[in-house]
Amino acid sequence: MSENDPLHLAVALDGAGWHPAAWRAPSARPTQLFTPGYWTDLVREAERGLLDFVTFEDALNVQSTQLDGAPDGRTDLVRGRLDAVLIASRVAPLTSRIGLVPSVSTLSTEPFHISKAIATLDFVSGGRAGWRVQASRPREALHIGRRAPDPPLHPDTFGTPEIQTYITETFDEASEHVEVVRRLWDSWEDDAEIRDVATGRFLDRDRLHYIDFEGRWFSVRGPSITPRPPQGQPLVTVLGHISAPYRLGARLGDVVYVTPRDIDHARAIVAEIRAEQDSAGRGDQTVHIFADLIVVLDDDGDAARQRLGQLDSLVEQPPRSDAITIAGSPGELADLLLDWQAAGITGYRLRPAVLPVDLEAISRGLAPELARRGRFRTAYTADTLRGHLGLPRPANRYATTRIEAAAR
């Protein structure tokens, strides 16, 4: 991708916004966080801005400020979520073009279940579904009851061999999980459904395939119970901060979200992911690298910075996050996004600090500003999420194998 190519924009939706005091902001809607209308309004606003897609956060434990996920006893922060896949499915019929990417944990749900859920979302949305692969988080195993608890995570133990082995194995398991899901999406060929009333044949059984996957963590025969999704392969996305998730995204993903501190850090991350992509034999394929940023936006940059200061004053200590926070005007943010594109970043997943005000600043301020500079779309030109990102519809691996076998 050239540094002069148009950018891709996504928005990460979570609760009242990504600042811990967001729910106390005048524009927030805290009484509506668990209503379908709230989420529908947000996604429609993002679609109004012609964004590529939205993501929906999810997890298997209640939000916590503790690194190890232990309950923090806080009562001044938003707690609780709705199920991300169900939110996306509810919103899908009420939107028309924007992509919908829920987070789903690889710990709690078997690959067969995830493949079916995301395939169904792809059918419901007409080809706009994706999946943010959520690897296991600390303490989530306590809610499942089918495996030993994860080792405790603390800053002083993060570099120990035990924790590093735990991280590596967590993402190795997630990689195997994604591989199974992708094979299940291909287990029905596109023309497996004949629907021939005259002959009484609904299916061509030769076009349904056992995937017969045997791995360290999963043994899955298949086929899926859901036909191949409209996109063939819905979008697979991965958030990464270190090498293990970078490797997963480079080898099996379509989009990798990263959290650079500055342009030099962005350049180093891109180089690592591209090297992993090449080593996996995917150097000729498009894998997008999106930088995650928390944003506080106002028409006047000083007003945005003042608003951030007001939000910070409502919490006991400065908020910590994996992504840096940018406060300024849409024009100032556009300058930064285009600068980082030169480091190889192909898009951005922006996290609005306060919903809906910062989402509206993205859709009504930033997106038009980038469009005026010729770096963002002025209209949707594709109907599917893969189409928005310039990704082809993949060939079915089992159909290709069957056709090659028949030709021999």
Contact between residue 311 and residue 19 where contact means Cβ atoms under 8 Å apart: yes
Domain 8-139+233-390: give its CATH architecture.
Answer: Alpha-Beta Barrel (3.20)
Here the tokens at position 229 are: 């999704």
Cα separation of 327 and 352, whole Å? Answer: 11
CA angle 79/82/86 to nearest 5° reads 165
pLDDT in single tens digits along all 408 residues of the chain? 566 789 999 999 999 999 999 999 999 999 999 999 999 999 999 999 999 999 999 987 877 777 667 777 788 888 889 999 999 999 999 999 999 999 999 877 899 999 999 999 999 999 999 999 998 666 776 777 666 667 766 666 777 888 888 888 889 999 999 999 999 999 999 999 999 899 999 999 999 999 999 999 999 999 999 999 999 999 999 999 999 999 999 999 999 999 999 999 999 999 999 999 999 999 999 999 999 999 999 999 999 999 999 999 999 888 889 999 999 999 999 999 999 999 999 999 999 999 999 999 999 999 999 999 999 999 999 999 999 999 999 999 999 776 666 666
- Domain ranges (residues) in the chain: 8-139+233-390
DSSP labels, 228-268: PPTTSS-EEEEE-SSHHHHHHHHHH-SEEEE--SSHHHHHH
Which pair of tokens denotes residue 280?
Answer: 């996996």
Bridge partners (DSSP) of residue 258 are 291
Whole-structure pTM value: 0.94
CA-wise closest residue to 108 among 35, 72, 58: 58
Retrieve residue 45's tokens. 């606003």
